[in-house]
Amino acid sequence: MKKFDPDKNSAGCYAAAIEAKRLRGDKHYPPAAERLPDPETDREMKRLKRALDRKLREAGRG
């Protein structure tokens, strides 16, 4: 049985409400802007992935 995740539920409800308003023709909610990846975050994610891969190798799981 899946555990209820209130954060995921609220995000899904918000997205559904915005989509319903768009379909209804509301102009107050513009289309979602495409976000460009942040170079600093991208570097940090790569660093964390390398660290995780190293730890898994050391534990004999990678």
Per-residue confidence (pLDDT) for residue 38, from 0 to 100: 84
Look at residue 15 in the predicted model and tell me its pLDDT: 85
Structure tokens at 59: 């534990």
Q: Is 18 exposed, middle or buried (0-12, 13-18, 19+ CB in 10 A)?
A: middle
Q: Identify the pLDDT of residue 58.
A: 92
**pLDDT at res. 52:** 95
Per-residue tens of pLDDT for the chain, all 62 residues: 678 777 777 888 888 888 888 888 887 766 667 777 788 888 999 999 999 999 999 998 75
d(CA 12, CA 7): 9
At 54 the three-state DSSP class reads helix
Burial 5-15 (b: 16+ CB within 10 A, else e): eeeeeeeeeee
- The predicted model scores a pTM of 0.41
Q: Which DSSP state fits 33?
A: P
Domain ranges of the chain: 6-58
